[in-house]
Structure 1
Amino acid sequence: MPATPLINGINYSWANISWVMFGVPVVGITKISYKRKLKKDNNYGFGQHPISRGYGNYEYEGSVELYTDEWKRIIAASPDRDPLAIGPFDIQVVFQGSRLTTERDVLRSVEFMEDPLEASQGDSKLLVTIPLIIAAIER
């Protein structure tokens, strides 16, 4: 069976993502992860099978991995040099390219949850992973 050629065969890739914080693109980012989930439970009554389903809260979680020098710049711009003291802010994750439709996810009321550092002998680059608390994700 002959293969069907791709039409507009361009997908989003890491090169098409930018992360904007406080109106400034953050270039030292190497990974971003975020998700939302909705609590769902089966409800049981008579018998062994669910009789209904209950829905709870939306939950959001995420993290960002970046070079330590980028993190140090965020720390330097933080109140009292404490990134955990930065008030809630939005992060824009922009997907764009010359032949792609521009899309934007907005992480609302984000705060940093940790201020870590980890380094090992022989490391040629230092990265930190910062967990985020997120109030909402707009797609």
Structure 2
Amino acid sequence: MLYSWADIVAAISGVPLTGITGIEYGDSQDVVNKYGAGRHPVGRAKGRITPTAKIILYQEEVEAIQAQSPNGRIQDLAPFDITVTYLPDSGIIKTDKIRNVQFSGNSRKWKEGDTGQEVELELVPSHIEWAK
């Protein structure tokens, strides 16, 4: 089973995003070798898990989200979840959950000849629940 962009539905707090053109998320964990007798590791230890995420939305979608903020700053929205659901033709649905997300910035970048604005927004999640 292979996925395509058309198989993905991303939603913020259960509301599907129609003006999304990209999403990227992942996590990494500190893993270190532990040494004892001899020259080689005798085991490993795992440390903190660091999640990362970013989303690319049309400006109109960003403005609709921004309108939910009491002061107009997207960074001041309360934490929310983003779900990314994979709906392939095979019918086996998988959903990843990006938890307790907040926006860390907001910007626009225009240049001559642009016919639309895609806004890349860095996200700060608490953790990611990967589909099983």
Q: Which category of TM-score, normalised to the shorter sequence, fits these structures?
A: 0.7 to 0.9
- 2:46 equivalent among 42, 47, 55: 55
Is 1:99 the counterpart of 2:59 in the alignment? Answer: no
Residue number in structure 1 paired with 2:10: 19
Write the deviation string for residues 91-122 of structure 1: whole angstroms up to 9, x where unpaired: 11111144331111111111111111111111
Is 1:124 the counterpart of 2:115 in the alignment? Answer: yes
Name stretches of at least 5 consecutive residues in structure 1 with no aligned partner: 1-9
Whether contact under 8 Å (1:115, 1:130) holds in the other structure is: yes
Distance 1:102 1:43 in 2: 39
Residue number in structure 2 paired with 1:111: 102
Residue number in structure 2 paired with 1:79: 70
TM-score, L = length of structure 1: 0.84
- Deviating 4+ runs (over 2 angstroms): 42-54, 97-100
Cα RMSD of the aligned pairs, angstroms, is: 1.7
Match of 1:15, SS? helix
Whether contact under 8 Å (1:89, 1:109) holds in the other structure is: yes
Count the aligned residue pairs: 130
- 1:136 equivalent among 111, 124, 127: 127
Name stretches of at least 5 consecutive residues in structure 2 with no aligned partner: none
Match of 1:123, SS? coil
The aligned amino acid for 1:65 is I
